[in-house]
């Protein structure tokens, strides 16, 4: 059986066909979600098909991660927010190999995997993240607090939510020191408040938000004008307490202990941990920083190897500030797509024998985000992800909730059909 996506026209080739096949460059993409799918199909289109592109991924599904906030409350299932990537790649003449990468040798230009070795001329690392549960004792699948950063995590958080409804108590939602995915923490916080109201538990349950952020609405991007005031109004309206600029020490069953010794008892807790690079990437010390993310230039080439690229969460981003409690930077879907397009165009240029011309520093990518709040929300727009900025705005209202619902459907359709050139 040929790999999915490989079109076999016949078993015999002429000498010219053999020479053409041997001269075609091979691009290997690790990961098939936001960054990997976008990069793979864009490279194929940029070179009008005159390139061999293979995607190697441990998962054969695309997952729309922004909707994981709804899974614990039964508003979404796996089937609602995933699709099989094999047919999508096949439609665009991209080979798909379902297997996990186990080693990267950037000198030999080879990736070892559970599906066998994969050689390449150009490599795109779009492997995403893994949870750093070791940041505080008590986190993790067998720990004392839930998280929602993967499908399996979100499903377990849903099982915990159903148990909670049978025996309610106080609720703690938070993000640890070093975390960067604050948007998901806020979204889950406000969706939790909405669900507590629906369950008739709002008045008897104390809801507390605990964050490493120095102020409300920092989001890991330095905040936006009036953001602290707006988030403060949201919390006051919902009766939510906030504990900010604090590190967590550990989580026991039913109790979160902060670094300063304060404790918060809970019947349910959801805590966002920091992320690190996948093990296969972390193991390649020639490529990564201390957190296992690939050190890149603004072309998304690795700092050391011109033929290795990294996009999305897998790419390292320098934090441009220091806060009393360490705060990470969110690497969301929109900048991931932008990075993937930059990388794809630069690889296409190199294959054509040109110098990469596309440059886009992470901090210069526009911030475009919708924060859902159950039946309400906030649209977040800024000319740059990171300061200094010329403008930024937060637009609250129920239209944000409707926008997120619509965007989910559009984006899943767009990616399933490989329409990666659409906005």
148, 181, 370, 386: the catalytic one is 181
Instruction: Please give the C-alpha separations between residue 58 and each of 30, 62, 128, in angstroms, as whole numbers.
Output: 9, 11, 11
Instruction: Please give the C-alpha separations between residue 380 and each of 205, 226, 234, 385, 397, in angstroms, as whole numbers.
Output: 29, 12, 15, 11, 12
413 CA to centre of own chain: 19
Instruction: Please give the C-alpha separations between residue 180 and each of 71, 274, 317, in angstroms, as whole numbers.
Output: 21, 6, 11
- Given the structure tokens 């989580």, which residue do they identify? 251
In the residue annotation, 118 being an active-site residue is answered as no
369, 380, 415, 420: the catalytic one is 369
In the residue annotation, 369 being an active-site residue is answered as yes
CB-CB neighbours of 401 under 10 Å: 20
Spatial separation of the C-alpha atoms in residues 179 and 290, rounded to whole Å = 15
Element (H, E) at 417: none
Burial of 59 (0-12, 13-18, 19+ CB in 10 A): middle
Q: Is 34 left (phi over 0), alpha (psi -120 to 50) or beta?
A: alpha
DSSP 147-178: --SSHHHHHHHHHHHHHHHHS---EEEEE-TT
In the sheet where 118-119 sits, what is the strand order?
101-105, 110-113, 118-119
Catalytic residue ranges: 181, 369
């Amino acid at each position: 059986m040929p790999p999915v996506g490989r079109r076999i026209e016949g078993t015999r080739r002429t000498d010219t066909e053999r020479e053409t096949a041997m001269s075609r460059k091979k691009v290997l993409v690790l990961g098939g979600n936001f960054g990997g799918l976008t990069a793979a199909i864009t490279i194929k289109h940029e070179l009008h098909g005159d390139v061999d592109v293979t995607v190697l991924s441990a998962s054969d599904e695309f997952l729309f991660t922004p909707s994981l906030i709804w899974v614990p409350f039964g508003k979404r299932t796996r089937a609602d927010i995933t699709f099989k990537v094999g047919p999508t790649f096949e439609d665009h003449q991209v080979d798909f190999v379902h297997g996990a990468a186990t080693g990267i040798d950037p000198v030999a230009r080879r990736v070892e995997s559970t599906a066998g070795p994969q050689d390449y001329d150009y490599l795109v690392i779009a492997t995403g993240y893994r949870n750093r549960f070791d940041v505080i004792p008590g986190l993790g699948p067998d720990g004392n607090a839930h998280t929602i950063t993967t499908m399996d995590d979100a499903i377990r958080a849903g099982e915990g939510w159903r148990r909670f409804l049978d025996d309610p108590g106080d609720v703690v939602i938070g993000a640890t020191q070093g975390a960067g995915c604050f948007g998901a923490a806020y979204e889950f916080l406000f969706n939790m408040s909405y669900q507590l109201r629906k369950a008739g538990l709002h008045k008897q349950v104390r809801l507390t938000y605990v964050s490493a952020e120095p102020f409300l609405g920092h989001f890991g991007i330095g905040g936006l004008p009036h953001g602290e005031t707006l988030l403060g109004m949201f919390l006051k309206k919902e009766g939510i307490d906030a504990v900010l600029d604090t590190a967590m020490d550990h989580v026991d069953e039913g109790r979160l202990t902060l670094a300063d010794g304060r404790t918060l008892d809970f019947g349910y807790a959801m805590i966002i941990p920091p992320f690190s690079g996948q093990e296969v990437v972390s193991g390649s010390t020639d490529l990564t920083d201390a957190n296992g993310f690939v050190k890149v230039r603004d072309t998304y080439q690795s700092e050391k190897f011109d033929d290795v690229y990294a996009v999305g969460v897998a790419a390292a981003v320098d934090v441009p500030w220091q806060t009393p409690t360490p705060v990470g930077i969110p690497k969301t879907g929109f900048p991931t797509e932008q990075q993937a397009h930059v990388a794809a165009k630069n690889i296409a240029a190199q294959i054509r024998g040109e110098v990469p011309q596309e440059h886009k520093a992470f901090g210069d990518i526009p911030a475009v985000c919708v924060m859902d709040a159950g039946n309400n929300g906030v649209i977040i727009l800024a000319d740059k992800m990171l300061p200094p900025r010329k403008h930024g705005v937060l637009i609250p209202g129920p239209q944000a909730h409707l926008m997120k619902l619509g965007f989910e459907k559009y984006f899943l359709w767009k990616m399933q059909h490989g329409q990666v050139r659409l906005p």
